[in-house]
Structure 1
Amino acid sequence: MKELNLQNIRQQLDVMDAQLTELFEKRMELCREVAEYKIHTGKPVYDSTREKQKLEAVTALAHSDFTRKGTYELFSQIMTISRRLQYGLLAAHGQAMDMGFTMVEDLKRENVRIAYQGVEGSYGHGAALQYFGREADVYHVKTMEDAMVEVEEGRADYCILPIENSSAGAVSDNYDLLVKHDVYIVAETELPVSHALLGLPEASLEDIRTVYSHPQALMQSSRYLNSHRDWKQISTVNTAVAAKKVAEEKNISQAAVASPAAGELYGLKALETSINHNKNNVTRFIILSRIPVYKKGSSKVSICFEGAHRSGSLYNMLGNLIYNDINMLMIESRPIPGRSWEYRFFVDAQGSLSDAAIQNALKGISEEAVSLRILGNY
């Protein structure tokens, strides 16, 4: 008897679901007509006042706390889907947002200057030569921000900065700098990382008391370094700067965590090799330009956006990617200066600025976000 009742209930649910689907399609047709009207009048798709009034009205029709909350969530999603339909129609009628980028056949790599942070022998130096060639005109600056300023003010055509490591994660400060400076990501390159413990030629492991390196290199080698409890670990701005410091100060008790190439360059001895605990350690470097261009065939778009500080804001932003079948590759959050517990989000998505799906998604995000910036397509 219970089985028969369950079957009957399921049959009723099937009928209702079919009715709901039919009504949903009719609603989408009406939304399509609304989009046509907005195309001709130039009215914005997103009307927060109208949406708030509508949600309050439909929620009031429900008869319990549970169904009121469910009704609110249901109609929030229906209206979100409606907006995405309208954004796509606007884009199809030539009302897509201006991306501000120009597609080029290839990036200029000859007769260009490239700035990197650190000194010769750093991983940034190696990444620059890997991407631009061993004979490239590269030069170093003191800080990551200095490298960006070199590009921004026209003294360098490109700069190269680390943005992510496979074991230590994001280089968070560089995400903040991407928002601060008027530069664009035009390419990326990945450099395998193998740290060595470098000391003076006459030094041995028993002599070491202090180890210098960049904070991420110390983190990536922490298991090895922490096994030597009497070693003091001190951060420097760069791995090669640490190697240079040890070479210049000639203190037998000092060592640096840096690349074997830096050791050769500064005349240091590898006391231990491959001390990073992740042996598949790779750092991803981005190449930045002051000119907003993207190479034909580029397959990754990086954006930064801020959503309204309310429930569901991030979900709605990312829903524009889902609706347009766009694969999100990475998301990173960073605090917004001066606004406690509020964050901006950095997202990498698969695609090109020339793709209709990417254009539709960015149009939707731009309409609903507090701010949106396209960082690059590469």
Structure 2
Amino acid sequence: MSKFSRMLRQALTVARRDFTATVFTPTFLLFLFAPVLMIGFGAVGGIGAQSIVGDDSQMKMVVIAPPSQAPTLLETDRQLRKLFPRKSELAPPPLTIEAPHGDPAAQARAYFDSDKFDAAAVLYGPLDKPEILYARRGWSEAQFLTQLAEQSLRAQKLGNAEPLATVTQTAVKRGPASPTGRGQAASIGAFSIFFLTLFLSGQAVGTMAEERSNKVIEILAAAVPLESVFFGKLIGTFGAAVLFLLFWATILINATRLLPPEIASGFPSLIAALGAPTYALLFIAYFTMSYMLLGAMFLSIGALTSTQRELQMLSLPITIFQMIMFGLALAAATRPGNWVEIAAQVFPFSSPMAMIGLAGSSPAIWPHLLALAWQTLWVAIIITVGARVFRRGVLKSGSPKRKTKIEATA
């Protein structure tokens, strides 16, 4: 058996041990359902923020106008609301027409002190020179009332508020060469790799630090080479991450089949330049490389820490560094052909995210083969350097320094 085969077999043994120790524990169930907890906390935070901001269901717009103008104003309001999607948060609040009595300015000001509803904006006066009062959050409603007065005045001069043009609208599906679809595929792919890698690779650093504190790593180092230990642990944690992804991918794929057609059609059509099957394979490959690169870095850091405080202090800069790499990859996606794109594709930690962006916008396949080989080389470099630093700095078992000629003759 060759040396490489022996090291690979030892690494797989360590990987099987770590995978079993990670997956077959109650803690992994909590990790598996962590997205549910995150969504729950996000929903609670959203409800709390909405209650702080206030409920917009009580807001209204008011137009003080004679009853003779009410039909024209209501018809114009109905036509202007077609510019907004149904039940959209951007749609203006309901419109109320009130007959003038007394001083219109005082009447308009009094609506802002009403305890029956919240007045967002109030219009009074003639339509050719209207006055509009609006609250702090009613600027967009004031713009809507401005257009309402303008279009209502035009309808009065024409003598009819009904639309003059008969328009036929037909939905058209974008072709495979759509720049928007390619750009969305590139951006979403880069963000997905960044988020999944950052979320899933953090468990590697805790595993290594824990086994160093209970002296297990020293037992493993005495039995197999440290490079095999590091690589095996990396494969074991990656296997747990793949199990996590398969679990949630199965749930999401089956959940999308239960969505109504009108909701499913609202999702953007992501069209990658290389096609869906090739893009999916490259996404898996680049996620694997991104996980291996960041996981190897986390393993090397966890092997050098002895306390949880040191672990937190060292892992935070790595997280910030990875966010910078994500920003570099997004900058590369928005500047094709620039030096930023080349730098993001060459630098190993930003290369997976930048290259999945390239897969969404360019049909060439050879750069991906070169990039995967380059990233694999850097995974081997990081594991080797991490193992040697751990051997020399922690185990104190490095090879002795060579004696110089002066020391030998002394």
What interval of TM-score do these two structures reach, taking the shorter chain for normalisation?
under 0.3
Higher helix fraction: Structure 1 or Structure 2? 2
TM-score, normalised to structure 1, is: 0.22
TM-score, normalised to structure 2, is: 0.21
Which structure has the larger Rg over C-alpha atoms? 2
Higher strand fraction: Structure 1 or Structure 2? 1
